[in-house]
Every structure is written in C-alpha cells, then in structure tokens.
C-alpha cells in the first residue's frame, strides 16, 4: 500500500472497524498520521486478517463518513 488515505472523522471509522472486528480496542485503532502501516499491522495482528482485507476495510470505513 502506497499510503492509506484516512480522511474525515476517524472516530466514526474506528466504530465501523470495531463493528467488523469486535476484538479491536481503542489502543489498536490509535491513528497517528504517517503511521498507517503500523495501524494496519496492529489490526492484522489482532484479527488474523490478510493485509489487503485490512486495508480495504480501513478505506471503506474512512471513506463512508
């Protein structure tokens, strides 16, 4: 992934990701600009999903705000 574009209200996106993967915590979803790969890695580690699935879910959650 070149760069994860996360725009809009991140709290709404976090809620959508928690709905998809209930095992995620607020700490897992702490978003820091420039650390998109770390965010995806934390979600992968917690959920066991492949990178592409996580990236797709994060994009969907952040785009539908």
pLDDT at 1 over 70: no
pLDDT digits (tens, 9 = 90+) for 2-46: 455 665 677 788 889 999 999 998 888 887 767 888 889 999 999
Maximum Cα interatomic distance, the chain, rounded to a whole number of Å: 27
| Angle in degrees, 0-180, between the axes of helices 51-63 and 10-20, rounded to the nearest 10 | 130
pLDDT class of 49 with cuts at 50, 70, 90: very high
Mean pLDDT of 42-59: 93
pTM of the prediction? 0.76
> How far is it, in rounded angstroms, from Cα 54 to Cα 37?
11
């Amino acid at each position: 992934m070149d760069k994860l574009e996360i725009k809009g209200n991140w709290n709404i996106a976090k809620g959508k990701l928690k709905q998809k993967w209930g095992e995620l915590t607020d700490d897992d979803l702490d978003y820091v600009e420039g650390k998109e790969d770390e965010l995806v890695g934390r979600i992968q580690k917690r959920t066991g999903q492949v990178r592409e699935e996580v990236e797709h879910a994060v994009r969907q959650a952040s785009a539908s705000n």
